[in-house]
């Protein structure tokens, strides 16, 4: 993977009235990389993406996207990037082909008919070209939206929670397509709430309350939280979560079927609590590797603690 940067911004800030939506965002995304952007609702992900693609002007900060200045050269960024919004934003009373033709016309593309036919074939939409967009399922709307983003052959895709509301197979097909595009050299910045999708990204960033709290590969993000994790099975399953939550070193207890997943930051203290609990309750305990979900929940908890402080 090339080390050239398609996104390189430092200290971006954005206010909406008294609300500081994005705080000192610094972000670097390599060419041909799939970069995951994660965080709770209202954390600033969409605002950040809109600043990067030239739809919002930062209040302060500087940097480039595709080599263009994010403040002074937004028109150039828009021509070379594709932006897929959270909600389906094409025209529901037009057919699939008519929607793509309209987008091609907006970009001033030559040989529009050939361009539209190629886009239909590339995303497997040809058999449905005459279907009204408003009658499509969530997965097919998603595929149409991606085709519209790609029709002008962008170098960068900015995808804002693109798989929300679609079924698991459509999500998997979508991600197969994203990896194919990245292999062809297209850079992808994608926001998501799904941990399985986060794990399919080359690198990740986590944002909360407008602040970037962690970034790196999935393994690096997990390691950076310095969590210890244990599984607990057997014993009094009904009372165990409440009892475990009161033990020294326990930060969170999460049920997974018949197993309890226990995490904490003080590894020696948590280990002593787990062994003592097993001896007293007859439960079986085992040290396990913390997951990416554990890391993100820990980041959410820390962000909430900072907000209360």
* pLDDT number for residue 163: 85
Alpha-carbon gap, residue 249 to 57, rounded angstroms: 45
Res 2: pLDDT: 46
Stretch 212-219: mean pLDDT, rounded?
A: 94
Domain presence at residue 201: yes
pLDDT in tens, 280-294: 999 999 999 999 999
Whether residue 14 is contained in a domain is answered as no
pLDDT at residue 227 greater than cutoff 60:
yes
Which of the listed residues 183, 205, 222 is the one where a domain comes to its end?
222
pLDDT mean over 150-173: 89
Q: Is residue 186 one of the residues assigned to a domain?
A: yes
Q: Kindly state the helix (H) or strand (E) to which residue 207 belongs, with its residue range.
A: strand 203-208
Mean pLDDT of 113-127: 92
Q: What CA–CA distance (Å, rounded) separates 42 from 290?
A: 26
Is 188 in the same domain as 244?
Answer: no
If one counts the domains in the chain, the total is: 2
Is the pLDDT score of 1 beyond 70? no
* Per-residue pLDDT, 176: 92
H or E element at residue 65: strand 60-65
Indicate the pLDDT class of residue 306, thresholds 50, 70 and 90: low
pLDDT band at 308 (very low <50, low <70, confident <90, very high): low
Same-domain check for residues 279 and 143? no
| Separation between Cα atoms, residue 27 and residue 265, nearest integer Å | 27
What is the C-alpha separation between 165 and 176, in angstroms, rounded? 18
CA neighbor of 87 nearest in space, from 161, 170, 193, 166: 161
Are 108 and 131 found together in one domain?
yes
Considering only residues 138 and 73, tell me which one the structure prediction assigns the higher pLDDT. Answer: 73
CATH number, residue 236:
3.30.70.100
Domain check: are 154 and 242 in the same one?
no
| Shared-domain flag, residues 185 and 151 | yes
In a domain, 16, yes or no: no
Q: How far is CA 120 from CA 98, 99, 140, in A?
A: 11, 11, 12
pLDDT digits (tens, 9 = 90+) for 173-215: 889 999 999 999 999 999 988 888 999 999 999 999 999 999 9
Please tell me whether residues 209 and 252 are part of one structural domain: no
Look up residue 160 and give its two tokens.
């804002």
Q: Are residues 211 and 83 in the same domain?
A: yes
Whether residue 209 is found in the same domain as residue 169: yes
CATH number at residue 124: 3.40.50.300
Kindly give, in sequence order, each residue whose CB lies less than 8 Å from that of residue 41, ignoring residues fewer than 6 positions away.
none
Domain boundary (192, 222, 252) is at: 222
- Kindly report, residue by residue over 25-79, the tens digit of the pLDDT: 999 999 999 999 998 888 899 999 999 999 999 999 999 999 999 999 999 999 9
Structural domain boundaries, residue 251? 228-289
Let me know how many helices (H) and strands (E) the chain has, helices first.
Answer: 11, 14
Kindly state whether residues 215 and 239 are assigned to the same domain: no
Calculate the average pLDDT of the chain: 92
| 3-state helix/strand/coil string of 2-28 | CCCEEEEEEEEEEEECCEEEEEEEEEE
Helices (H), the chain: 45-52, 74-80, 96-106, 112-122, 138-150, 168-183, 195-198, 218-224, 240-245, 267-281, 292-308
Residues 46 and 99 in one domain: yes
Q: Which two tokens mark 56?
A: 């919002």
pLDDT-derived band at 94, boundaries 50, 70, 90: very high
For residues 174 and 205, state if they share a domain: yes
For the chain, the straight-line distance linking the first and the last C-alpha, in angstroms and rounded, comes to: 41
Domain stop point among 174, 194, 222? 222
- The tokens describing 82, both together, are 């594709």
């Amino acid at each position: 993977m090339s080390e050239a940067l398609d996104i390189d911004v430092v200290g971006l800030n954005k206010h909406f009235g008294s609300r500081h939506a994005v705080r000192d965002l610094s972000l670097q995304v390599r060419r041909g990389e799939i970069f995951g952007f994660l965080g709770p609702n209202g954390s600033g992900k969409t605002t950040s993406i809109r600043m990067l693609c030239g739809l919002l002007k930062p209040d302060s900060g500087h940097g480039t996207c595709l080599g263009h200045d994010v403040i002074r050269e937004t028109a150039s960024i828009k021509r070379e990037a594709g932006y897929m919004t959270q909600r389906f934003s094409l025209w529901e009373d037009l057919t699939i082909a008519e929607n793509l033709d309209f987008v091609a016309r907006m970009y001033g593309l030559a040989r529009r008919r050939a361009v539209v036919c190629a886009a239909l074939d590339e995303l497997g939409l040809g058999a449905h070209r005459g279907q009204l967009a408003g009658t499509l399922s969530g997965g097919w709307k998603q595929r149409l939206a991606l085709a519209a983003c790609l029709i002008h052959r962008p170098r960068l895709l900015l995808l804002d929670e693109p798989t929300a509301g679609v079924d698991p197979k459509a999500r998997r097909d979508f991600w197969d397509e994203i990896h194919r595009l990245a292999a062809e050299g297209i850079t992808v910045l994608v926001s998501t709430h799904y941990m399985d999708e986060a794990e399919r990204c080359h690198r990740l960033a986590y944002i909360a309350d407008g602040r970037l709290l962690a970034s790196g590969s999935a393994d690096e993000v997990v390691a950076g939280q310095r969590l210890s994790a244990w599984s607990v099975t057997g014993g009094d399953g009904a009372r165990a979560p409440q009892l475990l939550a009161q033990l020294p070193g326990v930060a969170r207890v999460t049920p997974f079927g018949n197993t309890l997943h226990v995490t904490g930051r003080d590894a020696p203290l948590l280990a002593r609590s787990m062994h003592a609990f097993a001896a007293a309750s007859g439960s079986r305990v085992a040290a396990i590797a913390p997951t990416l979900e554990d890391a993100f929940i820990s980041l959410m908890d820390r962000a909430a603690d900072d907000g209360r402080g």
